[in-house]
Amino acid sequence: MDEIAEFAPKVLDNMRQPSEDRYITVSRARIHVRLPADFLLVAAMNPCPCGGGAPGACQCNDAHLQRYVRRLSGPILDRFDLRVNVHRPGVEELLSHEPGESSAVVAERVAEARRLAEERQGCLNSRLSGSRLDEFAPIDDAGRAVLRYELEHDRLSARGYHRIRRVARSLVDLRSAPSLQIDEEAIQVALGLRASLNTTMRVGRVA
């Protein structure tokens, strides 16, 4: 969904249930039909309603920004495993001809991590339930302390807690020498990939 903040909030909130149940029930008069709805949601939005433009060119005031951010409810945001602030490329970066890592190489690494997960637990990491996470993604003491801090300071919901653990499981699986245990570094990176929208906005405005 490109420009996700432009969709009606009701449309977005209606996606919450199917995104967890992986089916959708359509009711018309006396007919109820259950249809499969297993999807991966990828969405993008601008840092602010005017799109940001060149540095210093943003014309949005705080009220504009608040209204824009509020279009995405907390519960829908909470369901995104990865929330990444895409920075504006610098001049040097734009002019540089150095190629990045090729998608084919990244795809191989991802395929290997998926194979590892299937072999270990018979499903992808995103499908691990809370109790199976205890078995297949045990966290070391330092990592556990970080999560405790986030939970105690209300920076992580119960749903977010499980999502962080699944993402951290995948991060460890992507390493060259994956282990069963999840360490603090993986937890920190997973938390960093869950940027808060408000921070993103501020960063977007300043950048």
Contact residues: Zn ion, CB under 5 A: 48, 50, 58, 60
Cβ proximity to Zn ion, 44 vs 189, nearer residue: 44
Quick count: other Cβ atoms within 10 Å of Cβ 122?
10
Closest distance between Zn ion and the C-beta of residue 10, in Å? Answer: 25
Closest distance between Zn ion and the C-beta of residue 90, in Å? Answer: 20
Cβ proximity to Zn ion, 57 vs 104, nearer residue: 57
With H, G, I as helix, E, B as strand and everything else as coil, classify residue 33.
strand
Cβ proximity to Zn ion, 15 vs 50, nearer residue: 50
Closest distance between Zn ion and the C-beta of residue 71, in Å? Answer: 15
Mention every residue, 6+ apart, whose C-beta is less than 8 A from residue 113. 170, 173, 174, 178
Question: d(Cα 92, Cα 139) in Å, to the nearest integer?
Answer: 40
Closest distance between Zn ion and the C-beta of residue 72, in Å? Answer: 16
Closest distance between Zn ion and the C-beta of residue 13, in Å? Answer: 25
DSSP notation for 144-169: HHHHHHHHHTTSS-HHHHHHHHHHHH
End-to-end CA distance of the chain: 24
Cβ proximity to Zn ion, 37 vs 50, nearer residue: 50
Cβ proximity to Zn ion, 3 vs 13, nearer residue: 3
Q: Which H or E run contains 32?
A: strand 31-36
3-state SS, 47-92, equals CCCCCCCCCCCCCCCHHHHHHHHHCCCHHHHHCCCCECCCCCCCHH
Residue 31 identity? I
Cβ proximity to Zn ion, 58 vs 113, nearer residue: 58
Closest distance between Zn ion and the C-beta of residue 89, in Å? Answer: 18
Q: Which two tokens stand for residue 53?
A: 């433009």
